[in-house]
Amino acid sequence: MSGRLPLLSLLLLFTLPAPLFASDLSPEANPRSDSDTGPREERATTAGVPEVVVSAERIEETATLPTITLDLRELEPMAAATSDAVQLIDDLPGVDLHRGGGVSGLPVLRGLADDRIRTNIDGRELPSACGNHMNPPLSYIDPAQISRIQVTPGITPVSSGGDSIGGTISVQSPGPEFAKPGSKTLARGQVSSFTRSNGQNHGGNLGATLAGEKVSLALQASTSRAKDYTDGNDRTVKSTAFEADNHAARVALRNDGHLLTLDLGGQDLPYQDFVNAHMDMIGNQASFANGRYEGAFAWGRLDAQLHWQNTTHQMNVRGDKMPGMNMPMNTEGTTTGYLVKAEIPLSEQDTLKVGHEFVHFGLDDWWPPSPAQAASACNTGDVNSATCSMAPGTLWNINDGRRSRVGSFVEWNSQWDPRWSSLLGIRNDLVLMDTDAVVGYNMNPVAAGSAAYLADAIAFNARERDRQDLNFDLTALLTFEPDPTHAIEGGYARKTRSPSLYERYLWIFRSSMSSRMNSAVGDANGYSGNLDLKPEVAHTLSLTFDRHDPERTTWAFRVTPYYTFVDDFIDADRCSPLTGGNGCTTQNVAATSGLVNLQYANHDAELYGVDLSGRRSIARETIAGDFALSATLAFTRGVNRDTGDNLYHIMPLNTQLAL
């Protein structure tokens, strides 16, 4: 059991430098209702500044009853206490965190984590370009640049995306701002800074907007850096330092119910240490472009989006782990995609959503030779070269990996009467994957131990590597609201996820050292891929009971039991013994302690549990802000049905209390 009373965070808000130009958004500008899917104009006012009209004509994400939406009023106080965006949702029911680097935590929704969750930033899907998943989606945005987060654990509407089985996390940056019709040009800015004593963490954020009635320009930038933090006994926790810089620019055009936006931005992480990994990040540079059209027509609304991101990522061993060690590992990933969806009111009771989506992810993952070994006998060609595990050549971990997904969906939302409503959706996704031939550091046929790469490379290159998965999803929900204070929602979902490039195409078995450089789950064990993996298919049942005051502002209580059975869950087994090398050995199979080497494998699995949450308002709109008491309790159990083992990343029974 853990208790959380973040009063210190509240006090810090009064001791840190205040924004020079405060952005006081009214409650109406950030509605709390999860069911508001109609077009609206959000207004924000600041003393001495003309009224701002924030366009919000986009098609809203369909919200189920367990969906929780955090708006700017709730996010601002939390953003002051962290540089890791994923920590903004840490207190939500059904959510746990797998903590890595200072800005690279991974969310876990009801026991399902990482690639099993569809996480997007302003509609952009961002696969991790790292064998250790050091750059997950939420690491690409600073908490201060977020205006809205919507979290849907478990059953998700098909319109929220495919290729995931655990839920959806949708993050939005602030929308474009325009001057009120008839007003002069809008010019406004905001500057803030922070200091956190533990780890000497400090940084700042700035934003600026220049807008007229139809054109809006905006800039955002943030920086955060920290040294190693200390634990409760004042001992330094090594490999926890980081530095992160994010920036973005936006131009938006609006005219008669149509909105066109273009976002350009980037990120620079000079370093980020990982206490739970063999490697550290010594660089992560990203650039992105995101264009979006939102339009209102007589027949309904249309959204179209085109996005691109390129990431270059470098790992090595920084001084906290092994001083003097030099083992460079590089990655470059490029994501390109589009999304077109329409919302069509069929009647006063029925709404239809249809959409089409494409996402392509290209990945190169290569490890240059270690300078120390490259300068030694590894280059002489004599018998000594058989012992070189990190030279003389470049190892290709993933060589021109390609993963393309094209999907379509249809979703029907019906309000049968004031009490009964339903949601029914179907979706299909075609996933195409392939990669080129690979090579190890050392291709000497007599190489042994961790220098043994030749046999693995020959076996992998001889296989047919292109794969095609045709996946189908189904969501069915029924909601009953007998009065303004009660709601019950039950449903079923069939969700499918294809393996990632790393799960299918990691090819190293015999070299224990190199195998352990690929450890996406953060347990430091070594992982090898499996060309024969099948997609995961999850069948989920859940039931939500919700009670609240009629205005949904004073108190609320919610409980959700759930059950998920996963066909072909991608777990991991000890790799079968192979001759040569030191990775997949009989000792590795029999080991009962220490690190081991594993291979991804399909198994049947089940997860079940219950989420409870409650909230009571104490005071609203005081000079110090809003005050409320909240509590969550969560229980999750995950089991591999074939082996009887517990699944990884499963949080024990836990509760949180917050003021």
Give residue 256's domain range. Answer: 196-658
pLDDT at site 625: 80
pLDDT at site 379: 61
Residue 597: CA atoms inside 13 Å, Cβ hemisphere, count? Answer: 27
- pLDDT category, 22, cuts 50, 70, 90? very low
- pLDDT category, 48, cuts 50, 70, 90? very low
Q: Element (H or E) spanning 15, and its range? A: helix 7-15
In a domain, 200, yes or no: yes
Please report the sign of the dihedral spanned by the C-alpha atoms of residue 375, residue 379, residue 382, residue 386: positive
pLDDT at site 382: 52
CA 606, CA 565: separation in Å to the nearest integer? 4
Mean pLDDT of 374-398: 77
Q: Residue 396 carries which DSSP code?
A: E
Give Cα separations from 269 to 97, 242, 246, 439, 532 (angstroms): 21, 8, 9, 29, 36
CA 500, CA 505: separation in Å to the nearest integer? 8
Residue 44 has pLDDT above 60, yes or no: no
Mean pLDDT of 610-639: 92
Q: List, in order, residues 6 or more apart from 316 with CB less than 8 Å away.
A: 279, 280, 282, 325, 326, 327, 328, 329
Sheet with 49-56, strands from edge to edge, namely 40-46, 49-56, 177-179
* Burial track 513-532 (b if 16+ CB lie within 10 A, e otherwise): bbbbbbbbbbbebbbbbbbe
- 85 near 139, Cβ under 8 Å? yes
Residue 182 has pLDDT above 60, yes or no: yes
Q: How many C-beta atoms surround the C-beta of residue 365 within 10 A?
A: 26
- pLDDT category, 63, cuts 50, 70, 90? confident
- 283 near 314, Cβ under 8 Å? yes
- Output 639 or 52, whichever has higher pLDDT: 639
Least confident residue range of 1-15, 100-114, 471-485, 508-522: 1-15
In a domain, 478, yes or no: yes
pLDDT at site 71: 94
- 111 near 638, Cβ under 8 Å? yes
Q: Residue 449 carries which DSSP code?
A: G
Residue 439 has pLDDT above 60, yes or no: yes
Q: What is the per-residue pLDDT across 113-130, written as a single tens digit (0 to 9) for each?
A: 999 999 999 999 999 999
- pLDDT category, 377, cuts 50, 70, 90? low
Query: In 3-state terms, what secondary structure has residue 417?
Result: coil
Q: Residue 230 carries which DSSP code?
A: B
In a domain, 617, yes or no: yes
- 397 near 417, Cβ under 8 Å? no
In a domain, 652, yes or no: yes
For residue 533 the two structure tokens come to 């993996």
pLDDT at site 12: 33
Please report the sign of the dihedral spanned by the C-alpha atoms of residue 115, residue 117, residue 119, residue 123: positive
Residue 49 has pLDDT above 60, yes or no: no
pLDDT at site 20: 29
Residue 40 has pLDDT above 70, yes or no: no
Phi, psi of 575 (to 5 degrees): -70, 145
pLDDT at site 2: 40
Phi, psi of 58 (to 5 degrees): -65, 155
- 277 near 130, Cβ under 8 Å? no
Q: List, in order, residues 6 or more apart from 183 with CB less than 8 Å away.
A: 50, 51, 213
CA 144, CA 10: separation in Å to the nearest integer? 16
In a domain, 21, yes or no: no
Residue 481 has pLDDT above 50, yes or no: yes
For residue 30 the two structure tokens come to 């950030």
- Output 433 or 8, whichever has higher pLDDT: 433
Residue 50 has pLDDT above 60, yes or no: no
CA 157, CA 162: separation in Å to the nearest integer? 9
Mean pLDDT of the residues in the chain: 89
Q: What is the per-residue pLDDT across 286-341, written as a single tens digit (0 to 9) for each?
A: 999 999 999 999 999 999 999 999 999 999 999 888 888 899 999 999 999 999 99
Residue 609 has pLDDT above 80, yes or no: yes
Q: Residue 62 carries which DSSP code?
A: P
What is the reported pTM?
0.90
Phi, psi of 55 (to 5 degrees): -70, 135
CA 138, CA 153: separation in Å to the nearest integer? 17
Please report the sign of the dihedral spanned by the C-alpha atoms of residue 499, residue 501, residue 503, residue 505: positive
- pLDDT category, 380, cuts 50, 70, 90? low
Cα angle for residues 30, 31, 37 (degrees, 5° grid): 115
Least confident residue range of 5-9, 283-287, 420-424: 5-9
- 419 near 395, Cβ under 8 Å? no
Mean pLDDT of 219-228: 96
CA 378, CA 392: separation in Å to the nearest integer? 5
Q: What is the per-residue pLDDT across 241-270, written as a single tens digit (0 to 9) for each?
A: 999 999 999 999 999 999 999 999 999 999
Mean pLDDT of 446-471: 96
Residue 585 has pLDDT above 50, yes or no: yes
Tokens 């040569």 belong to 580
Q: Domain total for the chain?
A: 1
Percent of the chain with pLDDT over 70: 90
- pLDDT category, 613, cuts 50, 70, 90? very high
In a domain, 51, yes or no: no
Among the listed residues 518, 460, 645, 466, the one whose alpha carbon sits nearest the alpha carbon of residue 569: 645
Length of the chain, please? 659
pLDDT at site 17: 36
Q: Which amino acid is at 367?
A: W
In a domain, 185, yes or no: no
CATH number for the domain spanning 407: value is 2.40.170.20
